[in-house]
Amino acid sequence: MSNPVVVEVLRGGLVESCHRGAVAVVDAEGKALFTVGDVTRPIFPRSAVKPLQALPLVETGAADRYALRDTELALACASHSGEPAHVEGVATMLAKIGLDPSALACGTHWPNSQAAAFALARTGAPSALHNNCSGKHVGFLCIAGAMGVDHVGYWRPDHAVQREVRAVLEDLTGVALSQDRCAVDGCSVPTWAAPLESLARAFAKFGSGHSLGSARARAAARLRAACAQNPWYVAGTGRFCTEVMQLLGARALAKTGAEGVFCGALPELGLGIAIKCDDGAGRAAEVIMAALLARFLRLNDQERAVLARLAAPTLRNWNGIEVGALRLTDAIEHTVV
């Protein structure tokens, strides 16, 4: 099945390029409310499932054992921009478990924030703390400590921490994650492929607690609250996830992933969202997520105006001149299940 064009890129009045993709909005029982394209094909969710991967951090007692603050729980769910407070937060978490940055297996890259990268370049070089996944990784180290297992190799698929994470993902998606569905993520931990519809259902369950045991439902609620109260720690300055969660609070959890993946939960409605753009374009996934939030949530005028801007962003050149825009196609605008 060929996925339809879901977002077009305009320059002037002409379509310059386009993005194909698939979208699933389902409830915790797996009932589809809205689908576009092939939602049964397994895809790698990448960082979009970080909030799900953080569940063992609460369930094992690690969050309480190490007295993690809500900002630190948000960092465990984050793809952060490497801004100073992000880096300081991860360093503080490491100190609480008696480790230093050398324990992090996520690798090193410059901060995703251009301002933070320029500032760092004047004074030094990046470390693993600046990696956008460092919050997730220190969360995994906390889990190892709470489980009483050696943290060395915590990122490998056969380590007790990753076995625990895999079991959580299987429970929420309802998919048996066999080895042929496993690959290596950008930060070296396993990434497990699942159908888009199953990922959407996982986020519906994470958002509502429906079909989860009481302990897991409480853990999900705690992580959602931490992200809703501290959205800047989930992403960073000027980021889509931060802006949307600042705008909507506890009504929406939004989490980006690499290669055009975006997932989210609408807790009050018991719905989960999963998006995959075939060409890996995050900008198109953001447009679709904004449109879906506007479609399903009850909004005031200010909220509707912000989401309308995010669903049809203007493109400008380096001189600030408007040169085009992104827009949804009829595949998204007029599809109802």
Q: Which residue positions in the chain have pLDDT lower than 50? A: 336-337
| Distance separating alpha carbons of residues 45 and 53, to the nearest angstrom | 11
- Alpha helices, DSSP H, located in the chain: 50-53, 55-59, 62-65, 70-76, 84-96, 114-123, 134-147, 160-173, 196-208, 214-229, 231-234, 240-248, 282-296, 301-311, 330-333
Task: Work out the mean pLDDT of the chain and round it to a whole number.
Answer: 96
pLDDT tens-digit profile of 137-152?
999 999 999 999 999 9
Which pLDDT score is estimated for 337?
A: 37
Report the C-alpha dihedral over residues 159, 164, 170, 172, rounded to 10 degrees: -150
Sort residue 244 into left (φ over 0), alpha (ψ -120 to 50) or beta: alpha
Q: Which two tokens stand for residue 265?
A: 């939960």
pLDDT tens-digit profile of 287-319?
999 999 999 999 999 999 999 999 999 999 999
In a 3-state reduction of DSSP, which class is residue 232? helix
Query: Residue 315, exposed/middle/buried by CB under 10 A (0-12, 13-18, 19+)?
Result: middle
Cβ(187)–Cβ(131) under 8 Å?
A: yes
Q: Fold for 5-333, please state it.
A: Beta-lactamase (3.40.710)
User: Residues near 125 by Cβ (< 8 Å), separated by ≥ 6?
Assistant: none
User: Hey, which residues does 23 pair with through a beta bridge?
Assistant: 36, 275
To the nearest whole percent, how much of the chain has pLDDT over 70? 99
Which pLDDT score is estimated for 332?
A: 84
Which pLDDT score is estimated for 230?
A: 98
Which pLDDT score is estimated for 334?
A: 56
Write down the domain spans for the chain.
5-333
pLDDT tens-digit profile of 20-41?
999 999 999 999 999 999 999 9
- Give Cα 327 distance to the centre of its chain: 23
Which pLDDT score is estimated for 331?
A: 86
